[in-house]
Amino acid sequence: MSKYDDLAEKFGTPAYVYDLEVVAESRDQLFDMLPEGFHVFYALKSNPHPEIGRELRNGGCRAEISSTGELANALTAGFDPAGILYTGPGKTNAELELAIAAGVRLFSVESITDLRHVGAAAEKHEVTASCLLRINTTASSGGTGIRMMGRASQFGIDAETLPALMPALKSVPGTRVVGAHFFTMSNAQDEGSLLGEYEFVLRTAAQLRREVGLPLEVLDIGGGFSSPYAVPGPRTGYPNLRTGLEDLLDLHLPEWRDGGIELACESGRYLSGSSGSLLAGVVNVKEGRGSRFVILDAGINVLGGLSGIGRLLPAAVGIEEAGGEVGSLVGPLCTPGDSLAKATELPELAPGDIVTVPNVGAYGVTASLISFLGRPAPTEVVVRGDEIVSVSRLDYQRAYEVSP
Ligand SMILES: Cc1ncc(COP(=O)(O)O)c(C=O)c1O
């Protein structure tokens, strides 16, 4: 019996429940693991719910966004637009203008043309945009996790092109290059990998400053903090991260101690992941040809739709009340791809029962095939311990309005 069964009864399933107490705990834990003075950007892509954003903002986080939808949610959450970081390889002129009109002033740029687009939008509004050059490093440290750099990519300016490009990058009207942005990996499951990556990033940043004049008033070293996804378990601890990172900074960028560099990192899953559980209802249990299928009202339209393209850990969910029987957890969609767990241990389940998938506060709703097959989006219930804070549901189900 889940502690949230009463919420499932009250609000129906499928439903996500996010606990703000856990969001606050994750936030404080992350700040504690970082050297004093680090800025933490919350990646709204992991969960743009404004209540989660507000909780993180209240504890000192800033927002990292990549779209005008995320911008709207960040503003609703109360983030100061001047402190927001706007990232992404395909920022359109329209969205840049909207962001600048809303007061966003800090952009990560992924190419010289991207920088020029930011500059043009800033000039229209007669402001100067501060820009971080996102660097696509020539290699990577080789640790575990989802790699995003060190090969041909739509992300970042290739490090080897910087010597020739730097003068042009520094003279784009409407912009001022203030620093660098690295985001080389996501979901580093051990401290050694994370520190190895940061060692590589800090060494590279210092070298580029020395050799090609890369400005480093601001340095965003990326993220990579890991959190379990759709399986039970605690957030990854990084007990030596703080001292390890301090040592690396002392070695490569010693002026950080006097505040000579504004240091930042980014996190989505670590901040929101463990706050969320998915409550799914059992619609049917089907036995046949030696197999047992537990059919839920939640499938890849509600959870794990992105795992197929490798951006997430595979959605082989582990439910909180695992037991002794073996069966497959499947969703309600008309595709054999709608599977949440194959031949896994399940308790005795019958229609009407509720199963709880833990640790899905990040990349749950946002990373799912929400509109596929036209089912309603899941309900999202925000709680603070036992208190219900808000109940909402995204509206993706409207019929097309086709003009004649
Ligand atoms: C630029 C950038 N920042 C932050 C994140 C958030 O990553 P995570 O949720 O693993 O912390 C991502 C994820 O892909 C990203 O690409």
- Per the DSSP assignment, residues forming a β-bridge with 388 are 383
Confidence of residue 191 (pLDDT cuts 50, 70, 90): very high
Which pLDDT tens digit goes with each residue over 105-114?
Answer: 999 999 999 9
pLDDT number for residue 309: 42
Q: Can you tell me the distance from the alpha carbon of 75 to that of 329, in angstroms, rounded to the nearest whole number?
A: 38
pLDDT number for residue 85: 98
What residue owns the CA closest to ligand 1's atom 8? 268
Give me ligand 1 centre to Cα 184, in Å: 9
Give me ligand 1 centre to Cα 28, in Å: 19
Reported CATH class of domain 34-267: alpha beta
Q: Could you tell me the pTM of the whole model? A: 0.94
Give me ligand 1 centre to Cα 2, in Å: 30
Is 186 close to ligand 1, i.e. is its CB under 6 Å away?
yes
Pick the most confident of 124-133, 158-167, 225-234, 360-369. 124-133
What does DSSP say about strands 39-43 and 15-19: parallel, antiparallel, or unpaired? unpaired
From 45, 201, 221, mutation site for ligand 1 pocket: most ligand atoms within 8 A of C-beta: 45
Which pLDDT tens digit goes with each residue over 331-345?
Answer: 999 988 888 888 888
Is 40 close to ligand 1, i.e. is its CB under 6 Å away?
no
Atom in ligand 1 nearest the alpha carbon of residue 46: 9
- What is the rounded average pLDDT of the residues 166-194? 92
Architecture field, domain 5-14+274-392? Beta Barrel (2.40)
pLDDT number for residue 390: 98
Is 268 close to ligand 1, i.e. is its CB under 6 Å away?
yes
pLDDT of 315 above 60: no
Where do the domains of the chain lie? 5-14+274-392, 34-267
Give me ligand 1 centre to Cα 291, in Å: 38
Confidence of residue 311 (pLDDT cuts 50, 70, 90): very low
Backbone angles phi, psi at 202, to 5 degrees: -65, -40
- DSSP, residue by residue, 74-108: HHHTT--GGG-EE--TT--HHHHHHHHHTT--EEE
pLDDT number for residue 40: 98
Is 271 close to ligand 1, i.e. is its CB under 6 Å away?
no
What residue owns the CA closest to ligand 1's atom 2? 183
